[in-house]
Homo-oligomer: A and B are copies of this chain.
Amino acid sequence: MSTGQTPATAPLLSSMHAQERGLEIGREAHALCATLYPYCRSLTGEGVRETLRKLRAIAPIQIEEVPSGTRAYDWVVPDEWQIRDAYVLDGRGRRIVDFNASNLHVVGNSAPINARVTKAELLQHLHTDPAHPDWIPYRHSYYRESWGFCAPHRLIQGLEDAEYQVCIDSRLAPGSLTYGELLVPGAEAGEILISTHTCHPSLCNDNLSGIAVAALLARELAGRPLRFSVRFLFLPATLGPIVWLSRNEDRAAQVRGGLVLAGIGDGGEPTYTRSRRGRTQIDRAMEHIFEHCSPAARIRDFAPMGYDQRQYCSPGFDLPVGGLMRTPNAEYEQYHTSADDLSFIEAQALGDSWRLVWLAIAILQEDRRYLNLSPKGEPRLGPRGLFADAERLGLLWILNFSDGRHTLLDIAERSRVPFWRLAEGARRLEESGLLREVSERE
């Protein structure tokens, strides 16, 4: 729907200073991560479904199932993985590697096996990280059928037997790929996309952090009257976005801006990776938010090696979608190991990430162009009761640059006045009759 009328959007921006709200949300997010931590998520399978079902208690996410064999551009949805148990028994029958202790112990998507193997054979299928001998590394084998275990490196020193029983009680069989989707509808045409990946097992920063923050954003937005719709996607990395895009090309074309959330719970500073186009509204919004709220944050140019933005930014789509992380994935040693656990993520960091995304959504919702209706010389602010707040709300900046070409975000960049203050200023000027909104089609 696009009526040219500004809908009575909820005051997203007025909530945005609620840093305490961010802290509360952060604590909720951490608790949600703890709830979801044990599920054995993977590219497909029951762990993802269990995760999404839990999220439905928070926000009305729809669970979509895409059958194995479905084509999606260059890809095909593979067989679904079911995993019940997995272990390695030593000569005395003791479980020296046990899936029940940690779902990281089995290589993701492992084919089933139940066999007696020599120590040498076992070692060929056993992944460890010598640099961190107490941590279990995370491995998966999605598109090549094989089996394997992951274990702390110190286990190897203890392997004294010549033979071991290996058992992976899994099944790769036709089923479906599962993802979650929620559309919070807006009054005008156009969508904001929030996407996060769901395919990692018991790893917290990567990516229960993204899942939890996205779900809690969805909860806060659901039911609010919005200008533009906000779409939330919870899907397995790489294949998930490709499948979604292949089924929703018309919706993709509606995306005005978006963020891929991944690794947003660690204590490092935020990192934004720009969209492929580099200077779209979401890119500029994130830069503006960082300037005012997170001056130590990092901004990096788009590279086709990041998280799922590389699918949304593939040249056939080239959507204005950037990525939000905290410490970049390649740059912390806990990455893809059992040390990325509940102690590695922080409620405060989760809350801060929540707040940054909230602000980004708010700017994309509230960025508008206005026309100064008294454009020759300055209008008098005093008689309109605007003098006292003029500086705080950037009123002279708004008046000077509201020539129908500059949006509030343009003015925020130029003036270095925070967007949220300008948005309040524009409302005040509009009420006083000095400003009127210019529709996007004018």
Contact = CB atoms under 8 A, between A and B. Distances in A.
A380 B143 contact: yes
A296 B288 CA distance: 31
Interface in A208-249: 238, 241-242, 245-246
A104 interface: no
A402 B396 CA distance: 42
A375 B314 contact: yes
Contacts of A100: none
B378 A311 contact: yes
Copies of the chain in the assembly: 3
Contact of A310 (B75, B246, B396): B396
Contacts of A245: 376-377
Contact-residue size bin, chain A (C-beta under 8 Å from the other chain): 35 or more
B74 A305 contact: no
Contacts of A374: 73-74
Residue among A316, A372, A396, A400 with the highest chain B CB neighbour number at 10 A: A400
Interface in A392-442: 396-397, 399-403, 414-415
A344 interface: no
A246 B374 CA distance: 12
Residue among A242, A377, A382 with the highest chain B CB neighbour number at 10 A: A377
A317 interface: yes
Given A75-B377, A304-B397, A315-B401, 9 more contacts: A73-B377, A74-B379, A75-B380, A143-B382, A144-B382, A242-B376, A314-B400, A315-B375, A316-B372
List 8 A-B pairs, minimum CB-CB distance, nearest first: A316-B375, A316-B376, A242-B377, A304-B400, A315-B403, A304-B396, A74-B379, A315-B375
